[in-house]
């Protein structure tokens, strides 16, 4: 996002940027180019769950409540499905319901940061599809075929989420 700065962002902008980066797969790959920007959005202590990976079509910020050094931003995601098994499984569960999530924020040295909470990655179908394809390519280059069939079935299932 051109001109975006974590230091100048309000709670809405901070959560919006988090959601944009998350939708783009920043938590799926530690080498993602947005990783350092993403880290700047977070309070440094706390862990984030890795599963289930939630597949979403879109998100929107519903409300923002700010009180002094804390804030709560409510986001609604349009869920398509979820995936468990760290890509060792093709257990994709279809979901076509909104999911509401409340993001807790804290002002740290003048910047709004998101406190860690139980929120697994929320990614787009296309991002997850690209991620699975890159894993398939990597496995193939390494001569590893143990999960090829599972990942190929998963790709087919992800295609069915497109509508």
* Mean pLDDT, rounded, of the chain: 87
Q: Interior CA angle at 28 toward 23 and 32, to 5°? A: 85
The larger pLDDT score, comparing residue 106 to residue 91, is at: 106
In this prediction, residue 9 carries a pLDDT of: 82
| Predicted structure pTM score | 0.87
Task: Give the CA-trace dihedral at 96, 29, 23, 69, to 10 degrees.
Answer: 120
Across 137-148, average pLDDT: 80
In this prediction, residue 54 carries a pLDDT of: 94
The larger pLDDT score, comparing residue 154 to residue 91, is at: 154
Residue ranges with strand state E in the chain: 53-67, 70-84, 91-94, 98-108, 111-114, 122-123
pLDDT band, very low/low/confident/very high, at 89 (cuts 50, 70, 90): low
Domains of the chain with bracketed CATH: 11-124 (3.10.450)
The Cα 72–Cα 28 span in angstroms is 25
Per-residue pLDDT tens over the stretch 30-50 = 888 999 999 999 998 778 888
């Amino acid at each position: 996002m051109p001109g975006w700065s974590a230091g100048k962002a309000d709670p809405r902008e901070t959560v919006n940027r988090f959601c944009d980066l998350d939708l783009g797969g920043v938590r799926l790959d530690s080498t993602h180019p947005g990783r350092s920007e993403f880290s700047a959005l977070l309070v440094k202590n706390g862990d984030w769950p890795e599963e289930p990976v939630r597949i979403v079509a879109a998100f929107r910020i519903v409300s923002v409540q700010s009180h002094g050094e804390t804030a709560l931003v409510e986001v609604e995601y349009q869920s398509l499905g979820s995936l468990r098994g760290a890509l060792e499984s093709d257990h994709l569960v279809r979901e076509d319901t909104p999911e509401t999530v409340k993001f807790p924020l804290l002002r740290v040295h003048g910047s709004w940061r998101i406190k860690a909470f139980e929120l697994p990655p929320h990614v787009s179908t296309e991002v997850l599809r690209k991620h699975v394809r890159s894993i398939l390519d990597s496995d193939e280059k390494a001569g590893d075929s143990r999960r090829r069939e599972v990942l190929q079935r998963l790709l087919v299932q992800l295609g069915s989420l497109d509508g």
